[in-house]
Amino acid sequence: MNSHNSCLSRRRFLQRSALVVSAIGIAPAISTRAEDKPPLFKISLAEWSLHRALNAKKLTNLDFPRIAKSEFGITACEYVNQFWMDKAKDTAYLAELKKITGGEGITNVLIMCDNEGDLGNADKSKRKQAVENHFKWVEAAKTLGCHSIRVNARSTGSPEEQTDRAAEGLRQLGEFAAQHNLNVIVENHGGLSSHGDWLVATIKKAGLKNLGTLPDFGNFTEYDRYKGVEEMMPLAKGVSAKSHDFDEQGNETHTDYRRMMKIVLAANYHGFVGIEYEGSKLDEYAGVRATKKLLETVREELSRA
């Protein structure tokens, strides 16, 4: 009797031990499966989405990060230099902006730079001046913890001349930015820059690793937007989700976001996709919310695909 009980007890002990060991063995696998996968892409907010409110002085650049978080639940910001043109070298201002974003848990992504001269100017001295005008924005972006400044590749002349001039300006600016571990990225923003093949060829001619593209879904005129984004994506260090109008199902009426985001993801891009609402039928806040909802819907659909 005692011997039988002893055998039973030993058998139970071994069975329980095996279960414990088995549980320990499968626990990490269960944990791994339960963990949330990283998102297919992250969502940021481009300051231009609120340009009417900013131009009307209803908001300031210092308000922008707080609004991004409190109104839209977005914690990554893309700034536009037009709304703080005189502050690039203002150390107190930059410190205040950095303090605000740090307190809100905001990631500062990039600064979009306009009105600093043409990097492909036909006049070599003016081209050099345009390059140097951007230096302060590189330094400001570095201070804020951004990864890039966004610039334009405007020029004049034949396509070949424009490639040569813009590539030279971009190379000079890129060399300066590289000293600060910053990227210089070019948006399709009118003229030849809205031709994906021309822009990619120009950046490749400049020949620096920290030069890249910022494909914008909407800044194509006669050029096919899907073709343009597909051409630009291999060099992309950011993506701009331009939006204007929405149908009753919440889809953007000018751009097929599902098709476009498949192109983005096919290039193995999983970084920030910046909301840039530019419509007029919805107010700016409603437009941002509609764009965010669409991006989140598409992200969820593609995650399940």
Q: Kindly give the residue spans of alpha helices, DSSP state H, lying in 39-113.
A: 51-55, 64-72, 91-104
Q: How far apart are CA 243 and CA 80, in angstroms?
A: 17
Tokens for 277? 């609402």
User: So where are the chain's domains?
Assistant: 1-35, 39-304
**Three-state DSSP class for 151?**
strand
Residue-level pLDDT, tens digit, the chain, 305 residues: 554 444 445 555 445 554 444 444 444 444 444 356 899 999 999 999 999 999 999 999 999 999 999 999 999 999 999 999 999 999 999 999 999 999 999 999 999 999 999 999 999 999 999 999 999 999 999 999 999 999 999 999 999 999 999 999 999 999 999 999 999 999 999 999 999 999 999 999 999 999 999 999 999 989 999 999 999 999 999 999 999 999 999 999 999 999 999 999 999 999 999 999 999 999 999 999 999 999 999 999 999 98
CA 43 to CA 241: how far, in whole Å? 10
Superfamily (CATH) of domain 39-304: Divalent-metal-dependent TIM barrel enzymes (3.20.20.150)
Rounded (10°) CA dihedral 219, 80, 186, 206: 160
Residue in the structure block whose two tokens are 């050099």: 128
Beta-strand relationship, 42-46 and 272-277:
parallel
Q: What are phi and psi of 279, to 5 degrees?
A: -85, 175
Using CB atoms within 10 Å of the CB of residue 27, give its burial: 0 to 12 exposed, 13 to 18 middle, 19+ buried: exposed
Verdict on whether the full-model pTM lies above 0.75 = yes
Query: CA-to-CA distance for 159 and 192, rounded, in angstroms?
Result: 7
State the CB neighbour count (10 A cutoff) for residue 172. 19
Measured from the Cβ of residue 139, the count of other Cβ atoms closer than 10 Å reads 18
Can you tell me the distance from the alpha carbon of 265 to that of 272, in angstroms, rounded to the nearest whole number? 12
